């Protein structure tokens, strides 16, 4: 059981400009496994370790970016309760019928004050992985294809009113604040990292004037050596690298950021601190914001702050 009923990030739908090029990138370079295509032309992927049918969905569009980010909950009863709790809190919701996404049950969608559509769902077909669930090996052949992350880990979203989004996620869905970067006024946050588990974060936000923007979607690797291998594969495939390999001060994770062919930023991430809801949040101040984001360089680059989709 989850600590709050919200289990984990479940899927993200990304907008891409060229589906064929994107499918090649996400399967061959990133190393995700294609699991299906639907009547709308969307393409579905999972990592080699994930057991549910998909965690990444690509939709061809005229601009890059994010359509929605979803969390799996532990039961139909939890889904119904959280739907009512959101409505009681003043958040409009709508039900999306089962089957709208392949192998996925009913979803509850709502929009945060940051302009991002968030979904909750309880059911998705478990397709397993190549290792099986009985006496499995340590890894399988598909783990050698491309960068080969083990799971969809989190997303960093840019938009206004991040404190209002934080309130909804905390007060209604049971998330808690793990770390934050505070502006010079000593009251307002520039960025917040929230968890629904014991991970360093499951979702994060940065204050930004434009609503509904994606900074990055993150995929988890198991070791620092795999982060370095990811950088090698990015160079071999002429992937546009934003920054890294390096380390964050926030979360302590090791990381490399790069862009898919559409300009959507993605992260390959390893490690990170454990978090628990009874712990006091870690605060970073603006005089140390460089170290908070890029611990080695201790300074930010303009592209990391300004390029979003």
Domain ranges of the chain: 6-144, 151-306
Is 257 catalytic? The answer is yes
Catalytic residue among 116, 154, 208, 215: 154
CB-neighbour burial class of residue 202 (10 A; exposed 0-12, middle 13-18, buried 19+)? buried
Q: Is the pLDDT of residue 8 over 60?
A: yes
Is 248 catalytic? The answer is yes
Mean pLDDT, range 99-103, rounded to an integer: 97
Is 201 catalytic? The answer is yes
Is 267 catalytic? The answer is yes
Q: Is the pLDDT of residue 26 over 90?
A: yes
Is 216 catalytic? The answer is yes
pLDDT band at 130 (very low <50, low <70, confident <90, very high): confident
Q: What is the mean pLDDT of the chain?
A: 92
CATH code of the domain made up of 6-144: 3.10.180.10
Q: Is the pLDDT of residue 115 over 80?
A: yes
Q: CATH topology of 6-144 equal to that of 151-306?
A: yes
- Of the listed ranges 31-40, 84-93, 197-206, the least confidently predicted one is 197-206
- CA distance linking residue 173 with residue 118, whole number of Å: 12
Question: For 45-58, how does the pLDDT look when each residue is reduced to its tens digit (9 = 90+)?
Answer: 999 999 999 999 99
Catalytic residue among 216, 222, 225, 295: 216
Q: Which letter does DSSP use for residue 238 in this model?
A: T
The residue ranking higher by pLDDT, 263 or 302, is: 263
Is 208 catalytic? The answer is no
Residue 3, pLDDT score = 67
**3-class secondary structure, 208:** coil
For residue 182, whether the previous peptide bond is cis, meaning omega lies within 30 degrees of 0, is no
- CA distance linking residue 73 with residue 10, whole number of Å: 9
Residue 1, pLDDT score = 40
Angle at 194 between CA 256 and CA 248, to 5 degrees: 30
Among 103, 286, 76, which residue's Cα sits nearest to residue 181? 286
User: Out of 3.90.950.10, 3.40.1260.10, 3.40.50.970, 3.10.180.10, which CATH number does the structure's domain 151-306 have?
Assistant: 3.10.180.10
């Amino acid at each position: 059981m989850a600590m709050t009923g919200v289990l984990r990030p479940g899927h993200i739908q990304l907008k891409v400009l060229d589906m064929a090029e994107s499918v090649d990138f996400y399967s061959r370079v990133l190393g995700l496994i294609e699991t299906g295509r639907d009547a709308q032309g969307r393409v579905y992927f999972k990592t080699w370790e994930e057991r549910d049918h998909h965690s990444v969905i690509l939709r061809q569009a005229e601009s890059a970016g994010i359509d929605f980010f979803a969390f799996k909950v532990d039961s139909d009863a939890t889904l119904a309760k959280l739907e009512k709790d959101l409505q009681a809190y003043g958040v409009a919701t709508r039900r999306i019928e089962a089957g709208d996404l392949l192998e996925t049950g009913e979803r509850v969608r709502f929009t945060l004050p940051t302009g991002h559509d968030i979904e909750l769902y309880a059911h998705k077909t478990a397709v397993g992985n190549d290792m099986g669930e009985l006496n499995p090996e340590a890894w399988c052949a598909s783990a050698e294809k491309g960068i080969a992350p083990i799971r969809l880990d989190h997303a960093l979203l840019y938009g206004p009113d991040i404190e209002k989004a934080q309130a909804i996620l905390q007060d209604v869905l049971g998330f808690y604040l793990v770390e934050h970067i505070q502006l010079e006024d000593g009251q307002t946050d520039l960025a917040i990292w929230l968890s629904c588990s014991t991970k360093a974060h499951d979702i994060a936000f940065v204050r930004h004037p434009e609503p509904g923007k994606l900074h990055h979607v993150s995929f988890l690797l198991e070791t620092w050596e795999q982060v370095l291998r990811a950088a090698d594969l990015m160079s071999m495939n002429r992937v546009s690298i934003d920054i890294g390999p390096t380390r964050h001060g926030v979360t302590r994770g090791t990381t490399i950021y790069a862009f898919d062919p559409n300009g959507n930023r993605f992260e390959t991430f390893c490690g990170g601190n454990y978090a628990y809801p009874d712990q006091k949040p870690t605060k970073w101040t603006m005089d140390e914001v460089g170290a908070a984001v890029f611990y080695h360089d201790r300074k930010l680059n303009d592209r990391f702050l300004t390029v979003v989709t």
